[in-house]
Amino acid sequence: MSATRRWCALLALTAGALAGCSSGDDEPKQPAETPMGKAYISTEVTGTPIPGGGPLTLTFADDRLTANAGCNTATGPVTLDGGTLTIGEMATTMMGCPGETAGADGWVDSLLKSSPTWKLDGPTLTLTGNGDGITVTLLDRKVAAPDKPLTGTAWIVSALLTKDAHVRSQTLDEVRPTLTIAPDGNVSGNAGCNSMIGKAEIAGSYVTFQIGTTKMACAPDVMEVESQVLAVLNGKTITTIDSSQLTIRNETTGTGLELRAE
């Protein structure tokens, strides 16, 4: 055999050996894509239905999971290794919920604590519970419910935000403060007791408010809600929209509002 042929044979053998070594070790041990960084909303449940009808919303961010099926919101650490969803200790809100909806928390807790398997197929996430017979199909919330526009949407305040708390109350639910920013920047709405008028200067996610109100007096608890709403809408704020939810944070005070599209 000539020297040239011997070198060719050696190179072919080496390449084959390298291919054989890499074929097993380089295979991914878990799915390349994960739900982390996205939010999903349920579109179908097989097995025990969600009490009250749901839907189930799951938000994955910073190795944490936030879950809500119509009653309280639970949040805690999560791992997604090997196609299994495993949660740590979850903290929950403590709101009482009417009728069948009161059973939604137990349904979510049972599903998540079963260490369900998960599968991601494009925008569709499927969770299959272990031993509870429940399979939930969820759709990426950006696909199921695209972000509402900031302007031209009627927003209703659903929660008051402090620097480290998310506050809801019966009074807030009853008075339903509203906010609408017109495309030309004109602001209208109701702070809880009094009507609001004013201007909003929009620069990307930053919105600077100048708000005036009527001068009617209401019950003390209503005026307290109004005071907190107006304190947020005073000067420069940072806004974030996720589907039909708007979050406004005052850049100076750190207090905020959580609003939903009407």
Percent of the chain at pLDDT exceeding 90? 77
Collapse the DSSP code of 50 into the 3-class scheme (helix H, G, I; strand E, B; otherwise coil) and give the result.
Answer: coil
Domain boundaries, the chain: 39-144, 154-261
Question: Domain 154-261, CATH 3.40.720.10 — does that match?
Answer: no
The lowest-confidence range among 50-54, 64-68, 136-140, 165-169 is 165-169
pLDDT at 21: 44
Q: What is the CATH number of domain 39-144?
A: 2.40.128.270
Question: What local confidence, expressed as pLDDT, does residue 164 receive?
Answer: 81
DSSP per-residue codes, 118-175: EEEETTEEEEE-SSS--EEEEEEHHHHSPPPPSTT-EEEEEEEE-SS-EE--HHHHHH
For 6-10, 227-231, 243-247, which range has the lowest pLDDT when averaged over its residues? Answer: 6-10
Q: Are 74 and 67 in contact (CB under 8 A)?
A: yes
Output the six-digit token pair for 187: 């602001």
* Pairwise CA distance, residues 155 & 74, whole Å: 24
- Residue 24: per-residue pLDDT: 47
Q: pLDDT digits over 33-77, tens only?
A: 899 999 999 999 999 999 999 999 999 999 999 999 999 999 999
pLDDT at 148 over 50: yes
Q: Is the pLDDT of residue 6 over 80?
A: no
What integer pLDDT is reported at residue 31 of this predicted model?
Answer: 53
Contact 39, 26 (CB under 8 A): no
In the 8-state DSSP scheme, what is residue 215? -
Q: Do domains 39-144 and 154-261 have the same CATH topology?
A: yes
Q: Are strands 117-121 and 178-181 parallel, antiparallel or unpaired?
A: unpaired
Residue 4 pLDDT exceeds 80: no
Percent of the chain, pLDDT > 70? 88
Tell me: pLDDT of 7 over 70: no
* DSSP one-letter code for 84: B
The whole-number average pLDDT for the span 69-90 is 95
